[in-house]
Structure 1
């Protein structure tokens, strides 16, 4: 280990990890800015806005921009709860170890199982959306066959970069951060200042999107635009054992990801609306991919090509960050013996210090899903994207609920990042927000196509059912002796209020 940063008043990085029951096996070379860049490129406002801008406008019109404020505020509350948890438990894997230590093995199994599949589907979605940029940049056709081939290219290039190690991951994440900021803030400001085609009052104009019904229903329908955007900050915690001083830096990186990501998305969304030469066509749904035309008319052909390079860099960095986060979750799950083939999945390369086999899985299953999208019906990509978002929110709220349970039992977080007396109120509000978001995401559609309208709940039900079957048949929780449900005891130990057990590290006075 290169650094022995003071993560608590008593314990350095390695000592803190040892007190939690694990030994350092990764390269702690990730700084605060690299960790923030990882979360930011996972959240990726450029990817989120570009992917769902047309859907948001055709469903909710220009006022759908206000979902950025609603969802950003709610997810900021969630990130603060996560910050307290990761500050006490700076362990690889994020959702899985947090729920395990806050509640127990079975609860953690289900939370992580849903989260794994949601992340894998998210990787697939981002690669598929990014294939359009790759096709546009090189003037390739946009049919399903080319989308499959180009998605595979993005997935495999990201895998090769991830194989290189943590330093490469951090370096590419920083490049992706620069591309994101240039692609969303710089371009968004340019469009707002120099290419305005609309008045600012347009954001209060529904432009007839509600047709004969109430606008509230249309606005609710546009929620996915914000809900798809504001997650990814949890990836900062997925790589906790590769960060120096993680108990302090990761909570800060999570909050920075939400704030900077939200501002970036706001500039991008507003810029596209204000610079759209045919905004009514976008709202009417007759222009399903309006951003290239907006950029061409505003930046010219050369400027639009430059933006495509920037956007492609951001998409590649997003896929890279997603693969890295998913592989660390799989590694953490496997390290505790909770998955089939756990010894193989938990292998860390002695050369690159990354979980190579878990990375292979995080690339291979999305490749198979890309093949399914190629062979499946039109609209399948949007449907699986909605499932991914719902799965992510279910996993997030499993942490928020577990933290709330521990607070009611008297838990006072022991990491250096603490909310103090405000922690309970923030936890309650974060839980209320999460339940509200899940209701929106789980609400069946009204197209009349039963499968299409219910596919999100069908997908979640299938993942949950298979997870429960494996849990109660194979009983992985019985084969794992890693610590669980020890939030109260561990908080006391880290504060030096009780003596640690024989396997823990004694705090330095």
Structure 2
């Protein structure tokens, strides 16, 4: 059997006040990375909180709940609340598997690297390709969420027209303008260094957590009805309730992704084998609890469940109704901060994935994409490419009132498929006897593992991922062309997946190198 990367050992986490300990830990992390065939070129500066912040800001419950609460409520009524714990449970199954892989493969571009080490170069390449596309689209979708809050804070942020509604022409165009400005700013931050990104992201996450607590407190102290509201279905869309319920789950499915971002930044995290698994699970858990309380509180505090305001205005409508103007604007400012760091985290994760694939020669212009700025310690070109493509995607959708639902569907379907290209090969490898349950650090600390529960948890994660991908890609006219449109818009998600795969086949044929990819000698062979 080929030597396993699982046997690689790691020193204890550094003491933040001990310079020699920091140096020793950094040397151990560098040696760990070298065993996979890579030289340490990124700056390893992230601690536990910064790693948690990367995952939490990607999930960003304030960003996506504010953006899509109205969509969920308009289809499922108050009982759409139950899509939240269901999606959380399913995604937590996936996160458990990812945490186990993060402990064994602490590499940038984790989705690509995990899949490649489990199933070989071809499957790994397509997992990385699908994830890159998903992250570009997700960055664009997150950036346009500024339209949800900025015009409510100050009318001057409505740069185009007067109608601020997400589904209006003016609102859609203004969202593209604001989103493009944000992507320019996050690109600059990503270029100047991981330390600046970490500081801004951690500060933004702290503000977001304070904002989440403030929103929950406001809702629960200004409730107009009890928690039994979550059993009401009378405001659901006409027709079969279960069909409407499945559509309403789009909101929760869009929110609870990206928790793997701690793994994407493994090569910039101190002691990643111990830190990344914990922060992956913590980011999702905190998001799940906080988001569930926000949803429940909003339904309890909404002035009306039947006048249409909750569907059109979402959480902003509830906050403005329950708080006087200054306090409400402060909370909305917290949401704007959350949107900013969410976009920043997505772009950071995407740039590290692009860098990871490029250094293996797996992308066009690989040498340039894999270059790291000697002073900033960042892959500059990947950040610029993701920002530029995100802006281009927004411009292509200029004036499309269904842009929000369309972008959300496209990015999450592609992302769920990328996740499946990790969980399916992992299940196959588990059945063949992977991983070793006794993997430990050199100090005897065990790496995170699922033990005998690995196969059932992994199998459930695969079933969940397939079911969600199908549900999210289903071409529902009421979601993708609510005000009418071409058939191609209704079928946007499955068509986009097919185009992505076709383009991937072409690119893969062009860039497949003849040399051995670093790290393939460490791929674990079945016992």
Q: In the TM superposition, what is the alpha-carbon distance from 1:479 to its structure 2 partner?
A: 5.0
* Deviations 1:118-162 (CA, angstroms, capped at 9, x unpaired): 110000011111234233333132424432322122111112222
> Which has the larger displacement, 244-253 or 400-409?
400-409
Deviations 1:221-256 (A, max 9, x none): 111011001111111100100001101110000000
TM value normalised by structure 1: 0.90
Q: How does 1:277-356 map to 2 (within 5 A)?
A: 277-282=303-308, 287-356=311-380
- Deviation sequence 1:279-319 (CA, Å, 0-9, x none): 2123xx78522332211121111111101211111111111
Instruction: Give the distance between the partners of 2:473 and 2:276, measured in 1 at CA.
Output: 30
- The question of whether the paired residues in 1 share the 8 Å contact of 2:74 and 2:311 is answered with no
Instruction: Say whether 1:19 aligns with 2:45.
Output: no
Is 1:65 aligned to residue 81 of structure 2?
A: yes
Matches of 2:519 and 2:206, distance apart in 1: 40
Q: In the alignment, is the contact (CA less than 8 A) between 1:331 and 1:355 conserved in 2?
A: yes
Unmatched segments (≥5 aa) in structure 2? 1-9, 14-24, 159-163, 165-169, 441-446
- How many residue pairs match? The answer is 480
State the 1:39 CA deviation: 0.5
Determine the structure 1 residue equivalent to 2:184. Answer: 156
The Cα RMSD (Å) is 2.1
Preserved contact between residue 189 and residue 267 of structure 1 (Cα < 8 Å):
no
Structure 1 segments unaligned to the other structure (5+ residues): 493-509
User: What is the rounded CA distance, in whole Å, between the counterparts of 1:137 and 1:484 in structure 2?
Assistant: 52
Task: Measure how far apart 1:186 and its partner are.
Answer: 2.5
Whether 1:471 and 2:511 are equivalent positions in the alignment is no
Q: TM-score, normalised by structure 2?
A: 0.87
Structure 1 position 450 matched with structure 2 position 487? yes
Alpha-carbon distance between aligned partners in 2 of 1:404 and 1:364, rounded to the nearest angstrom? 37
Q: Secondary structure at the match of 1:488?
A: coil
Q: Is the 8 A contact 1:337 1:480 kept in 2?
A: no
**What does residue range 376-387 of structure 1 map to in structure 2 within 5 Å?**
377-387=400-410
Task: Give, in whole Å, the separation in 1 of the partners of 2:498 and 2:411.
Answer: 13
For residues 77-476 of structure 1, what are the structure 2 equivalents within 5 Å?
Answer: 77-140=93-156, 141=158, 142=164, 143=170, 144-192=172-220, 194-211=221-238, 213-282=239-308, 287-375=311-399, 377-413=400-436, 414=439, 416-447=447-478, 450-472=487-509, 474-476=510-512
Asked if structure 2 preserves the Cα contact closer than 8 Å seen for 1:60 and 1:221, the reply is yes
* Aligned equivalents of 2:326, 2:217: Cα separation in 1: 18
Shift of 1:93: 0.7
Aligned 8 A contact 1:42 1:232 in 2? yes
2:223 match: secondary structure: coil
Structure 1 counterpart SS, 2:313: coil
Q: 1:135 to 1:208 in 2, by over 3 A?
A: closer
Asked if the contact 1:383–1:455 (Cα under 8 Å) also holds between the matched residues in 2, the reply is yes
Aligned equivalents of 1:149, 1:460: Cα separation in 2: 27
Cα–Cα, structure 1 residues 139 and 480, in superposed 2: closer, same or farther, change >3 Å?
farther
Provide the C-alpha distance between the structure 1 equivalents of 2:256 and 2:314, rounded to a whole number of angstroms.
Answer: 22
CA contact (8 A) 1:123 1:319 kept: yes
Deviation at 1:388, TM superposition (A): 0.3
Equivalent position SS for 2:501: helix
Q: Deviations over 1:167-194 (max 9, x none)?
A: 21221222122122122232113211x2
Cα contact 2:109–2:128 (8 A) shared by 1: no
SS at match of 2:186: helix
Question: Residues 423-460 of structure 1, C-alpha deviation per residue, up to 9 Å, x if partnerless?
Answer: 12211111111111112112221448632321110111
Identify the range of structure 1 (475-484 vs 123-132) with the bigger mean alpha-carbon deviation: 475-484
Alignment partners' CA distance in 1, 2:359 and 2:93: 30
* Alpha-carbon distance, 1:44 to partner: 0.3
Asked if the contact 2:361/2:511 (under 8 Å) is kept, the reply is no
